[in-house]
Amino acid sequence: MKKDFISIADKTPQETLSLLGLAARLKRDLYAKQSRNLLFGKTLAMVFQKPSLRTRVSFEMAMKQEGGDALYIAPDEIKLGQRESVPDVARVLARYVDGIMARVFSHRDILGLAEWASVPVVNGLSDFDHPCQGMADLLTIQEKLGGLKGVKLAYVGDGNNVLHSLLMGGANTGMRIWAATPTGYGPLSEVVEWARLRAAETGAEIHLVVDPYEAATDADIIYTDTWTSMGQETEAAIRRQVFPPYQVNAALVSIAKKQVGVMHCLPAHRGEEITDEVADGAHSWIFDQAENRLHAQKAVLVDLLGV
């Protein structure tokens, strides 16, 4: 049966931890210059509706470092779902490549690609979920703190796709997730419901609050993301009025644990959701987190396509 990587919610707790273990091993191999060419002869099509620095470079290098190849398909080349239907694109690409990664606006397009493609499909980002980022985040936390179970992560800001992945990943690994979002900007109720059901199995905790200081108190990690995601540009002016109390700054960091790590999936709008002082300061894990996109995604690709 064909395997895809659409959401962390599709993985069991053990499968999530196994992927993280594989990512850690592949990272050690890379630093030891011991590539095993686990993707030799494999080709990944990378379909983009949205531009990206990290997604494109990290997926392309993941394939190349393990002996495979990657083909970048720019937004205007296909116009997925416009010039050519999602089912047709999926069936055509599957005749040429061994896997498809897509970075899209609508989650429906990811689901459509997975339904119609006969090769594995990876969700590189959708409006619902950002599972590759979530895996990179879990890998970073595991490296920094030595484990995941019982770790308190305070997410501060918009209840978006990144928060959805953190809720799913945290629930699968026994973390304590505190999400502080403005009223009306919280995560989707179905994601919260899923996370709480899984948390009952793993010992995780899921807390939704409005006050960012309540969430950040004694936190091991403070995490934030842009206030306005791609596709929400018409809301930017309103959001800039709503979200300033949710800025990650020195005052917020000061109420967390002394060695708190600060995370941001990037790109950052400095001076809005995070200050320069924090992003570039001693607590920042932001660029370790960005690097770990490479290693986490390499693990996903090896799991799906590996020889």
184 and 150 in contact (C-beta within 8 Å)? Answer: no
List 284's β-bridge partners, or say none. 262
Going by the DSSP 8-state scheme, the letter that residue 272 receives in this structure is T
User: What is the rounded average pLDDT of the residues 128-138?
Assistant: 98
pLDDT at 221: 99
* Rounded average pLDDT over 60-82: 92
Whether the pLDDT of residue 229 is over 90: the answer is no
Per-residue pLDDT, 230: 65
- Res 43 pLDDT > 70: yes
- Hey, where are the domains in the chain? 8-129+293-305, 131-289
Distance CA 120, CA 113 (A): 9
Q: Topology of domain 8-129+293-305, per CATH?
A: Rossmann fold (3.40.50)
The letter for the amino acid at 191 is: V
Q: Which fold has domain 131-289?
A: Rossmann fold (3.40.50)
Distance from C-alpha of 91 to C-alpha of 148, rounded to nearest angstrom: 39
Q: Which of the four pLDDT bands, split at 50, 70 and 90, describes residue 256? A: very high
Tell whether the model's pLDDT for residue 307 goes beyond 90: no
Q: Both tokens of residue 44?
A: 């990944």
Residue 236's pLDDT is 86
pLDDT value of position 214: 98
Confidence grade of residue 59 (pLDDT, cut at 50, 70, 90):
very high
Residue 84 predicted with pLDDT over 90: no
CA distance linking residue 67 with residue 110, whole number of Å: 26
Task: Give the pLDDT of residue 83.
Answer: 81
pLDDT of 303? 98
Q: Tell me the pTM.
A: 0.97
Share of the chain above pLDDT 70, in %: 99
Domains 8-129+293-305 and 131-289 share a fold: yes
Q: How confident is the model at residue 193 (pLDDT cuts 50, 70, 90)?
A: very high
Enumerate the active-site residues.
103, 130, 133, 225, 265, 293
Q: At 138, which helix (H) or strand (E)?
A: helix 131-145
Q: How many helices (H) and strands (E) in the chain?
A: 13, 9
Q: Which of 29-38, 147-156, 224-233 has the lowest mean pLDDT?
A: 224-233
Instruction: Produce one character per residue of 155-168: b if its CB has 16 or more CB atoms within 10 Å, e if not.
Output: bbbbbbbbbbbbbb
Biggest CA pair distance of the chain? 54
